[in-house]
């Protein structure tokens, strides 16, 4: 089974991706993770990608597409995969179709993790992180025992700049703008599955797995 996952920052896409991977025994492929690993290892790909990523830009399609093509040809993709972070542009989506058609295959479904913007704002705005150990808190659902002090290491707990309401709103707008064309592209193929993640992750996963079941895909775990 070949899946794509789409979800706004703060939508819980990461958790959903992990559950899908484990339940269906498919490989999770995150282009962001691959780029970060290559940057860490200082590979030629990493050095090239870093220029764009540091500037807050997308890595050019040529580089991204050939990296994904290479990744999908590896053995652990034979049982299927979940693409996360790719495609991000229509050009990438078209290229992916072309790539898959060479082996007479196609994307089976696009899982769209839905959470209204105001719910995301509420979640992200309440998030706090430790400046030292990285432990994550929530002023409503998981506060520190002492305000502003990490339970784990005793260092300062703060709100990340990019978690501030104005920044989050802007990130959500950018996400919507960039993703809308992709959703339309896959809606036309009739393969978009919406998973409402505004309540709890279990409900969202159930919704997705029921839709996948109708397409004949069964959980292995
Ligand atoms: P985010 O910070 O939005 O969660 P990711 O972790 O998926 O992003 O990716 C980090 C960075 O890697 C992106 O900002 C972008 O520069 C690059 N990147 C990831 N996937 C792609 C892609 N499909 N096309 C172009 N660039 C990408
Ligand atoms: Zn800490």
DSSP string covering 107-168: --EEEEEE--HHHHHHHHHTEEEETTT--EEETTTB--SBTTB-TTT--BEE--GGGSHHHH
pLDDT bracket for residue 131 (50, 70, 90)? very high
Ligand 1 atom nearest the C-alpha of 30 is 7
Indicate if the pLDDT at residue 209 is higher than 90.
yes
Q: Please give the pLDDT value at position 201.
A: 85
Q: Report the pLDDT averaged over residues 128-145.
A: 94
C-alpha to C-alpha distance for 195 and 128, rounded to whole angstroms = 26
Is 65 in a helix, a strand, or coil? helix
Ligand 2 centroid to 138 CA: how many Å?
14
C-alpha to C-alpha distance for 149 and 144, rounded to whole angstroms = 7
- Which of the listed residues 32, 45, 53, 84 should we mutate to test ligand 1's pocket, taking the one with most ligand atoms within 8 A of CB? 32
Helix-helix angle 201-214:13-24, to 10 degrees: 50
Q: Report the pLDDT averaged over residues 19-36.
A: 96
Task: Write down the mean pLDDT value for the chain.
Answer: 94
Question: Is the CB of 183 inside a 6 Å radius of any atom of ligand 1?
Answer: no
* Phi, then psi, of 61 in degrees rounded to 5: -55, -45
Q: Is 142 a catalytic residue?
A: no
Q: Is 160 a catalytic residue?
A: yes
Whole-prediction pTM value? 0.89
Q: Is 218 a catalytic residue?
A: no
Domains of the chain by start residue, with CATH:
2-26+79-116+166-214 (3.40.50.300)
Percent of the chain with pLDDT over 70: 100
What is the number of alpha carbons within 13 Å of residue 31 lying toward its C-beta? 26
Q: Is 127 a catalytic residue?
A: yes
- Which of the listed residues 36, 59, 64 should we mutate to test ligand 1's pocket, taking the one with most ligand atoms within 8 A of CB? 59
C-alpha to C-alpha distance for 122 and 140, rounded to whole angstroms = 10
pLDDT tens digits, one per residue of 56-102: 899 999 999 999 999 999 999 999 999 999 999 999 999 999 999 99
Catalytic residue among 106, 160, 199, 215: 160
CB atoms within 10 A of CB 102: 8
Ligand 1 centroid to 88 CA: how many Å?
8
Question: Is the CB of 99 inside a 6 Å radius of any atom of ligand 1?
Answer: no
Indicate if the pLDDT at residue 123 is higher than 90.
no
pLDDT bracket for residue 3 (50, 70, 90)? very high
C-alpha to C-alpha distance for 208 and 195, rounded to whole angstroms = 6
Report the first-to-last Cα separation within the chain, whole angstroms: 15
Ligand 1 atom nearest the C-alpha of 88 is 23
Q: Is 171 a catalytic residue?
A: yes
pLDDT tens digits, one per residue of 143-187: 999 999 999 999 999 998 888 888 889 989 989 999 999 999 999
């Amino acid at each position: 089974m070949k899946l794509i996952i789409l979800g706004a920052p703060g939508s819980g896409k990461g958790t959903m991706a992990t559950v899908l991977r484990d339940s269906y025994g498919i490989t999770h492929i995150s282009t962001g993770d691959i780029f970060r690993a290559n940057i860490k290892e200082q590979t030629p790909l990493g050095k090239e990608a870093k220029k764009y990523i540091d500037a807050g830009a997308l890595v050019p399609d040529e580089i991204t597409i050939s990296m994904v093509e290479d990744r999908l040809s590896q053995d652990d993709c034979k049982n299927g995969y979940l693409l996360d972070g790719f495609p991000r542009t229509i050009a990438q989506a078209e290229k992916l179709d072309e790539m898959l058609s060479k082996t007479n295959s196609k994307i089976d479904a696009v899982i769209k993790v839905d959470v209204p913007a105001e719910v995301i704002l509420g979640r992200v705005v309440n998030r706090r992180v430790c400046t030292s150990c990285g432990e994550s808190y929530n002023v409503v659902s998981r506060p520190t025992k002492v305000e502003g002090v990490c339970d784990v290491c005793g260092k300062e707990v703060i709100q990340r700049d990019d978690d501030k309401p104005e920044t989050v709103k802007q990130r959500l707008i950018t996400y919507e703008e960039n993703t809308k064309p992709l959703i339309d592209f896959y809606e036309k193929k009739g393969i978009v599955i919406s998973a409402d993640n505004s309540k709890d992750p279990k409900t969202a996963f159930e919704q997705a797995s029921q839709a996948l079941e109708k397409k004949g895909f069964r959980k292995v775990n």
